[in-house]
Amino acid sequence: MFELKANSFGSSTLVAYLDHNPNELTVTHGGNCFSVWANNRLSYQIVNIKFEPLKKLMRFGVVAFPIKIKHIGKNRAIIIDERIPQEWLNKRYCSICCPQDLMPEEQQRRIETVYRRKKALGLIIDAGNGLFVEKSFESKYAKKEREKNGGYIYAPMIYCVERFKSLSRNRY
């Protein structure tokens, strides 16, 4: 990882963004993703601040090009210029622009925690005979792999419970 100087803006996404206090220098974290051109003639996607807050800081004369950036990998960079107040920089990097392996460790752990919660308890059923094999926590990806490789079906428990209720209603 190395430091560079950003000389100008590159590209920016074009999602509509409304700044509720355009004439005041108030901290804002929303906005569009953007890239900058650095002094090594390469473009870097900035992941720790959005376009509109940086543009606002420039409009109020807090910062101007060149801006110090730090390359973090895969044409991604963070702004490290000491002229920008720390409260304007996002502690969590943009999850759309930044690959997970380049995010801060705390953000990576949070993503993993959320991912684990999304795994649902379900039943593994043998597709050949329709018999229950085991209870399991599986992600959608693992489910697809199991179905491709072994002739097993992963049925989320919520589906199994609903199916059992409907069978029970019909039976009595």
Stretch 75-96: mean pLDDT, rounded? 94
Residue 42 pLDDT class (50, 70, 90 cuts): very high
- Mean pLDDT estimate for the chain: 80
Which of 64, 80, 106 is where one domain is finished? 106
Do 96 and 150 have their domain in common?
no
Run of H or E including 110: helix 105-118
Residues 64-84 pLDDT 10s: 999 999 999 989 999 999 999
pLDDT of residue 154: 52
Q: Are 66 and 7 in contact (CB under 8 A)?
A: yes
Answer yes or no: is 112 within a domain: no
User: CA 161, CA 156: separation in Å to the nearest integer?
Assistant: 9
Worst-scoring range by mean pLDDT, 29-33, 122-126, 138-142?
A: 138-142
Place of tokens 């906005």: 31
61 Cβ contact partners less than 8 Å away, ≥ 6 residues apart:
none
Whether residue 165 sits in one domain with residue 127: yes
Q: 141 and 91 in one domain?
A: no
* Average pLDDT for 32-52: 96
Does one domain contain both 100 and 124?
no
Task: Tell me the pTM.
Answer: 0.67
Distance of CA 32 to the CA centre of its chain: 14
Q: 82-91 long-range CB contacts below 8 Å, 24 or more apart? A: 84/49, 84/54, 84/57, 85/27, 87/27, 88/27, 88/29, 88/49, 88/53, 88/57, 89/48, 89/49, 90/29, 90/48, 90/49, 90/50
